[in-house]
Structure 1
């Protein structure tokens, strides 16, 4: 996906996050939330949690959107951790983050029945 190798591993993703390359970072939460399997689901959610506070708006927004992808794929999220992050993203100063949060809220509501608004 984007500048990430198509056959990435969790170690590859962790290395990209350490590097914090602005060209690669926006792809990380999307890659992990759409490309993980059941065995890496918790790790992918943790990556999105970590990146939900990233200073770059596209990284932050994509991390929030990643929660929607995980909800769709696995029908579960750690509600006490994720719900406050999604709620906060709905009022983020960045329109990018707010837009991604709106999309995530729709998926989370549909697949998990939460109302994050």
Structure 2
């Protein structure tokens, strides 16, 4: 297993995020989605970005988008349940362990911070 390296998440502007989206570089997208979830002042933009990237072909980007929902729930104490809950539920069944792990973390946080309940597997 490669050594894990901590990198501070940059605080990106919406323009910087959109430029990164145009490049669609998975390595860059890993941080972009978390940056939006943590720091973006336009919270609807951040939530929409996480929704969009939750179906990205790269599993790490997908997983981080799902984790973004957890950050938004913790920080803002709100998410669009009708949209987000089915995405998290589906991610719990993703073929990649990383995505499933991020989905479990997101599920735990939205249950705690928003009072959502998920159906049993």
Contact 2:12–2:32 at 8 Å: present in 1 too? no
Q: Name the residue aligned to 1:59.
A: 61
SS of 1:8 mapped into structure 2: coil
Displacement of 1:7: 4.4
Q: What are structure 2's unaligned runs of at least 5 residues?
A: 1-5
Displacement of 1:23: 1.8
Q: What are structure 1's unaligned runs of at least 5 residues?
A: none
Aligned length: 114
SS of 2:93 mapped into structure 1: coil
Give a deviation string over 1:40-96, Cα, whole Å, max 9, x none: 111000000000000000100000010010000001001111011000000000000
Displacement of 1:27: 1.1
Q: Name the residue aligned to 1:19.
A: 23
Please report the TM-score for the alignment, with normalisation by the length of structure 1: 0.91
Pair 1:101–1:46, CA change in 2 (3 A):
same
Please report the TM-score for the alignment, with normalisation by the length of structure 2: 0.88
Q: Name the residue aligned to 2:81.
A: 79
Contact 2:74–2:113 at 8 Å: present in 1 too? yes
Q: Name the residue aligned to 1:95.
A: 97
RMSD across aligned C-alpha pairs, in angstroms? Answer: 1.7
